[in-house]
Amino acid sequence: MLTVLGINVSPDLLDRWVDWLAPDQQPFFVTKKQATAWKLDPDDREPSPEERDTYRTYNIDRRAARTVWLSEAAYDELPKATRAALVRAQVNHGRGAVPTNRKWADVVGAAGRQQADGHRFVWWKSLLTEPDKVLPEIVSEDLGPSRHAEVRTWPKQLERVRELAGTFPDGSGPNCFGTVMAACGVEGAESVWMLREPFEEWLANHTERGGRDDVPGTVFVWRDTGSRVQHAAVTIGDGWMLHKPSQSWMTPRKVRSVSEVKRATRTAGWRLERHRVVG
């Protein structure tokens, strides 16, 4: 079985990753002027959660307010000069999944160079003939592995932590707040995009301020300058923590050392609180 970040990935999940990286239609973001010049028809369709995270739609330049959805066939029908300009525009507008040919030359070869301007391309399923080579590298980018296999003692008071540790979500949405709540016994919390309000309510009702880094059940909560909770993780003892770095389909529920999580989460303006799980 394929292993990514120290976690087993089933063939079914790998197939879903392919669909999420290279859907049959993908969004291209353009300004009004670009849409007119390139004869593109914008569509106000909303991206799926997975498309949102693949293409990082939350980072798009506000000036590129129009979205064009293209299939591979429709994309290929565009004049090459238009494809080249469109792909360059995606880089400039902040869209994700616009890799360089240099990085993936051994996988995409001439097809990648000929697709657009010769420097950048976009993923289509026709280029993913070796998904077990491409997806693990994309998913692993900028992330350390889950170290759940190194844990020797799993805490009984955190009812589901062993079940969750070292697993990928079924799609985008599940986040750090739901992961912490699920590890502490809240059924179904690991499968939803847990908002701040229900997490804060759970925190108020099931924890008290304080806690130690070396014992199980200390919830780390990072808040920004406006006191809004931005991230959460929970200790599982012996210097280990469980957390999920983001809501993306690419990030697993993983075990890292307390120092690794603190280092990875260090952000200007954030402050760390500790809460001890009670009851």
State the SS3 of the chain: CEEECCEEECHHHHHHHHHHHCCCEEEEEECHHHHHHCCCCCCCCCCCHHHHHHCCHHHCCCCCCEEEEEEHHHHHHCCHHHHHHHHHHHHHHCCCCCCEHHHHHHHHHHHHHHHCCCCECCCCHHHCCCHHHHHHHHHHCCCCCCCHHHCCCCCCCCCCHHHHCCECCCCCCCCHHHHHHHHCCCCCHHHCCCCHHHHHHHHHHHEEECCCCCCCCEEEEEECCCCCEEEEEEEEECCEEEECCCCCCCCCEEEEEHHHHHHHHCCCCCEEEEEEECC
Give the pLDDT band (50/70/90) at residue 25.
Answer: very high
Give the pLDDT band (50/70/90) at residue 124.
Answer: very high
Q: Using CB atoms within 10 A of its CB, is residue 259 exposed (0-12), middle (13-18) or buried (19+)?
A: exposed
Q: What is the pLDDT of residues 210-266, one digit of tens each?
A: 999 999 999 999 999 999 999 999 999 999 999 999 999 999 999 999 999 999 999
Last residue of a domain, one of 95, 127, 159: 127
Res 236: pLDDT: 97
Range of the domain at 273: 148-277
Res 1: pLDDT: 86
Question: What are the CA-CA distances from residue 169 to residues 14, 51, 114, 175, 202 (Å)?
Answer: 12, 15, 35, 9, 22
90 plus 166 within the same structural domain: no
- Whether the CB-CB separation of 244 and 254 falls below 8 Å is answered with yes
Can you give the pTM of this predicted structure?
0.94
Last residue of a domain, one of 67, 95, 127: 127
pLDDT of residue 279 exceeding 90: no
pLDDT of residue 204 exceeding 90: yes
**Does 175 fall in a domain?**
yes
pLDDT of residue 94 exceeding 80: yes
Domain count, the chain: 2
Mean pLDDT of 17-23: 98
Res 133: pLDDT: 94
The tokens describing 61, both together, are 């330049």
Q: What is the pLDDT of residues 151-203, one digit of tens each?
A: 999 999 998 999 999 999 999 999 999 999 999 999 999 999 999 999 999 99
155 plus 232 within the same structural domain: yes
Rounded-to-integer distance, Cα 260 and Cα 116, Å: 40
The pLDDT mean for the chain works out to 97
Last residue of a domain, one of 63, 93, 127: 127
**Does 117 fall in a domain?**
yes
167 plus 215 within the same structural domain: yes
Res 116: pLDDT: 96
202 plus 252 within the same structural domain: yes
Residues of the chain with pLDDT > 90, as a percent, come to 98
The tokens describing 102, both together, are 């240099």
Give the pLDDT band (50/70/90) at residue 44.
Answer: confident
Res 56: pLDDT: 97
